[in-house]
Amino acid sequence: MKLVVGLGNPGLQYAGTRHNAGFDVIKELVRRLQPGKSMAKFSSEIWEVFTEKGKVFLATPTTFMNRSGEAVQQIAGFYQVLPENLVIVCDDINLPLGQIRWRASGSAGGQKGLADITQRLGTDKIPRLRLGVGRPPGQMDAADFVLARFRADEREEAEMMTRIAADSVEAWIAEGIVSAMNRFNRSSEE
């Protein structure tokens, strides 16, 4: 059993923002895998998918980003999902727009949702897929930047990143973390 959690903030006012890039990947996976109706439980919206590799849960927490660990702890605990069978999909201002990066473990790198998850689960050995949303321009506050929507000239790149990230999650489900890292961790020039 595997669990894919996309991070973001609930509510229409946050739809399409950089901080909700994780939600966008889950939405793309739901579109592709057509799991049926979602369930509202464990402070999340959850879809259940059956794949050749077994059952997979897709989830978007309905807590706000900084409290994502609350939802993930509930889901992982109830379904007894081990940390290595969980992947967190989240935005990252330290990556250029459009670049994705898989990691098997490590620090939260300033991503507060990921930090809350690792703190609540008591381990940083949780696979994560970081989605490059770019750096704030000039002196712009990072929080304001991630809560802003992609500019018109960035939308195509952001949409392509969402599709590639969904491809990579499907590879993780089918082939594991090493395959996902080898196939999808590339420099922005590639």
In terms of DSSP bridges, do strands 54-61 and 44-51 run parallel, antiparallel, or are they unpaired?
Answer: antiparallel
Of the pLDDT bands very low, low, confident and very high (cuts 50, 70, 90), residue 188 is very low
What's residue 171's pLDDT? 96
Q: Is the pLDDT of residue 190 over 80?
A: no
pLDDT in tens, 112-150: 999 999 999 999 999 999 999 999 998 999 999 999 999
In terms of DSSP bridges, do strands 2-6 and 86-92 run parallel, antiparallel, or are they unpaired?
Answer: parallel
Of the pLDDT bands very low, low, confident and very high (cuts 50, 70, 90), residue 110 is confident
Question: Of 19, 27, 120, 130, which one is the catalytic site residue?
Answer: 19
pLDDT in tens, 75-89: 999 999 999 999 999
pLDDT in tens, 17-51: 999 999 999 999 999 998 889 999 999 999 999 99
Instruction: Provide the whole-model pTM.
Output: 0.95
Provide the β-strand partners of residue 19.
none
Rounded CA gap, 5 and 55, in Å? 14
What angle in degrees, to the nearest 10, is found between the helix axes of 155-175 and 177-184? 150
Within a 10 A sphere around the Cβ of 2, how many other Cβ atoms? 22
Active site residue 105: no
Q: What superfamily would CATH give domain 2-184? A: Peptidyl-tRNA hydrolase (3.40.50.1470)
